[in-house]
Structure 1
Amino acid sequence: MGILQTIFTWWDGATFGTRLGLSGKSRMGEDDLGNLYFEGGKDMHGRPRRWVIYKGSNDASRVPPEWFSWLHHQIDDVPDRALPPLRGWEKPAVPNLTGTALAYRPPGALDAGGERVRATGDYEAWNPEA
């Protein structure tokens, strides 16, 4: 990332001002996606302030649920210490796929061909005279 992009853009990672503002704050951890989490200072309610620095584009759906709960003070300690380990049947978090080739397109959607399955015999159209 070039120095000018770091100074002036906010949508693709932290700006220079954000990085400068995090000096003196404690780095609390990193998630599987490479996002960094920081804590320091107090908010207006007396709780510690918490930040996420995204690796890549700034998209809030890229914060895993366990770190979301830490950021929003639902748990006090970092997820590695406060939460039990993931169970084998739990799936990893997936970011919002809207607008990508992997987005869900139901049958009948224009992007999925526009053809939907014909209604079965259990459907009867509404008629105003009925």
Structure 2
Amino acid sequence: MGFFKNLFTWWEGASLGTTLFSWRHGVTVGEDSNGNVYREGAGRRWVIYNGSNDVSRVPPDWYAWLTRQIDDVPERALPPAPKFLKDPMPNLTGTPLAYRPSGALERGGHRARASGDYQAWTPD
């Protein structure tokens, strides 16, 4: 099923045409931590995704290489990352780990009463 699915769809990885073009004209220049493979050839640069085709899955350093903001691969063209830099977090919206404020229904639906100079509006 994988071959036929890949033959007729483009959103689940490289199509047959992209695979043949990459094999014939491309040279692998690197791979990122997500398993995406970066290729160059025939005056072009492209990525073969490991999974669905989504540009948000390309790290910023490789994105700079793809868009020709840097000339060489990121390992040689960019300085090392600072020690305090954290790994990016995916968007957690819609998951059980999403942020829910105190008034959210998932947290009971009740929030602390307002205090201080707040006075609710009432129609007169």
TM bin (shorter chain) = 0.7 to 0.9
Query: Which residue of 2 is the match for residue 4 of structure 1?
Result: 4
Deviation at 1:15, TM superposition (A): 1.5
Considering fraction of residues, name the structure with more helix: 2
Deviation at 1:29, TM superposition (A): 0.4
Query: Which residue of 2 is the match for residue 91 of structure 1?
Result: 86
Deviation at 1:78, TM superposition (A): 0.6
Q: Which moved more, 1:51-60 or 1:110-119?
A: 110-119
Deviation digits for residues 45-86 of structure 1, max 9, x if unmatched?
Answer: xxxx22111111222221111111111221111100011122
Query: Which residue of 2 is the match for residue 32 of structure 1?
Result: 33
Counterpart residue identity of residue 41, structure 1: A
CA distance in 1, matches of 2:113, 2:20: 59
**Any gaps of 5 or more consecutive residues in structure 1?**
43-48
CA distance in 1, matches of 2:92, 2:46: 23
Query: Structure 1 residue 57 and structure 2 residue 52: aligned?
Result: yes
Aligned pairs, number: 122
Deviation at 1:98, TM superposition (A): 4.1
Q: Would the alpha carbon gap of residues 54 and 118 (structure 1) be closer, same or farther in structure 2, given more than 3 Å must change?
A: farther
User: Identity of counterpart residues, as a percentage?
Assistant: 58
3-state SS in 2 of match to 1:29: strand
Counterpart residue identity of residue 83, structure 1: L
Q: Would the alpha carbon gap of residues 54 and 127 (structure 1) be closer, same or farther in structure 2, given more than 3 Å must change?
A: farther
Query: Bigger radius of gyration, 1 or 2?
Result: 2
Q: Would the alpha carbon gap of residues 125 and 26 (structure 1) be closer, same or farther in structure 2, given more than 3 Å must change?
A: farther
Structure 2 length normalisation: TM-score? 0.76
Counterpart residue identity of residue 88, structure 1: K
Q: Would the alpha carbon gap of residues 79 and 5 (structure 1) be closer, same or farther in structure 2, given more than 3 Å must change?
A: same
